[in-house]
Amino acid sequence: MRAFIKMLFISIVALFVFIPSALADNSVTRVDGKTRYSTAVNAAKKGWTTANTVVLVGKTAYADALSSVPFAKQKDAPVLYTNKDNLSPETKSGLKSLKTKKVIIIGGQSNISNKVANQLKSMGISVSRIAGKTRYDTATLIAKQMKITNVAIVANGFAYADTVAISPYAAKMGYPILLTNSKGLQSVTASYLKNRGIKQTIVIGGESRVNKATFNKLPSPTRVGGATRYDTAANVVRKYNMSTNNTFISNGFAYADSVSGASLAAKQGKAFIFTNDKSLPTPTRKIIGEKKITRFSAIGGTTVISSNVLSQLKNPVVGKKVFIDPGHGAHDAGAIGYGLLEKNVNLDVSKRLNSKLINAGALTSLSRTKDTYDTLEQRVIKGANAKADIFISVHANSNDNSSANGTETYYDKTYAATNSLKLAQNIQPKMVSALGTRDRGVKIAGFYVIKKSKMPSVLLETGFVSSPVDSNILKSATYKDRLASGIASGVSGYFK
């Protein structure tokens, strides 16, 4: 009985030890549907239990939809889609579920016909419409329905991603979104700015979107842009310090889903960033790391945001900067044994580790990518210049006694001692498990690169090239790949 009680106690302790680690992955919720209509409805249900008013747009009328987001926020209304000639079944069901009493149609009959308006009325819903001859007209008519402000957003009416990026902020501040094009300032937009006494404008997008001549005609303009749509969205979050405690993310080219996400982000006052369908772009990883974002709402199904992207978002290493230092190089071969040169083993493992971490969502740098040589000081400087969150130096061991074997990890107490130890303790068991080598443990040593690096730093001795056992393992591409996966797993564990 005592033995049973002891085992039960150990099991309970183990449960408390391991559950927090499992729960420490980033939180990611996917909001999607089989169609754009159902995705929009499902997004609305995340923000509204009931919605007395709904803003309704045509299925591809993205300019109208985006101009509507700040207006919809003031009406406490979600933005939904419909077909042109028949109210989409998913939207009809959503309106019933939200107990909607009023629908404001945005755009003319080329986007939503009067037949749809009549179908809405037959449901007992009152209907009004805001429509102009062009998208520029419609945007200004929407703006006139909003509360008076002396600031306006100006965007290219065909650069939908830029407008998505700024719309949650515009909604938060109550700023209308006005439209122009790449050729020049539209007269209807210019008239609105003058007649409404707008004193300040925020231009979203670079000069290819809103050119310099147009920019200079605007009242007290400032520009927020970037090299790509991913950069622009990230720069909006940076400049306006949008709340990131639950950040919305969608495919930067899936405009229908992005609008649905922007509507919900506007409701909740949250930041909005972009991805592509397969992997998180570098600008998005950077803003995630800078803002330490750990909660995400991904808008769209697997065809627009793959499961791989969600896995990257969930991984605690996403957005973290990892500096990888393959030891030795060029004239400095390092340890030699059983046909192995340490410098080559280190580089091979490091490049594999680099790929694993990039695939996991990290931002990585290497001290070398070829058979070149840097001094120890140069390696430390490179790590510092990379502004790395952690520094990992990869090595292989050697001993005059060929029976010496196994894997060990070193850290130094000079800087970031606690976190360096934590990093070492996460990586060491993963390496041993991957290779099946003898566990030589975590140790303290003043190796230059980990002693002088100010961020959490470790030096890995993956195995002994002087050992007939370890050398065979380090010759194997399969084992080196497993080793890289193990180290990457340890890095993720460190950031939990």
Q: Are residues 496 and 21 in contact, defined by beta-carbon separation less than 8 angstroms?
A: yes
For 33-77, the DSSP string reads: -SSHHHHHHHHHHHH-S--SEEEEEETT-HHHHHHHHHHHHHTT-
390-397: strand order across its sheet: 363-366, 321-326, 390-397, 457-464, 407-411, 439-444
Strands 363-366 and 340-341: unpaired
C-alpha to C-alpha distance for 384 and 443, rounded to whole angstroms: 24
CB atoms within 10 A of CB 299: 32
C-alpha to C-alpha distance for 347 and 424, rounded to whole angstroms: 20
Known active-site residue 90: no
Length of the chain (residues): 496
Longest dimension (CA), the chain: 90
Q: Within its chain, how far is the Cα of 119 from the centroid?
A: 40
Whole-Å CA distances, 65 to 58, 62, 107, 255, 401: 8, 5, 9, 10, 73
Whole-Å CA distances, 339 to 435, 468, 474, 479: 19, 11, 11, 17
Strands 407-411 and 457-464: antiparallel
In the set 90, 342, 408, 461, the catalytic residue is 461
Residue 309's nearest CA partner among 259, 345, 273, 256 is 273
Whole-Å CA distances, 57 to 48, 60, 87, 159, 189: 18, 8, 11, 18, 21
Q: Are residues 46 and 236 in contact, defined by beta-carbon separation less than 8 angstroms?
A: no
Residues carrying an active site annotation? 461
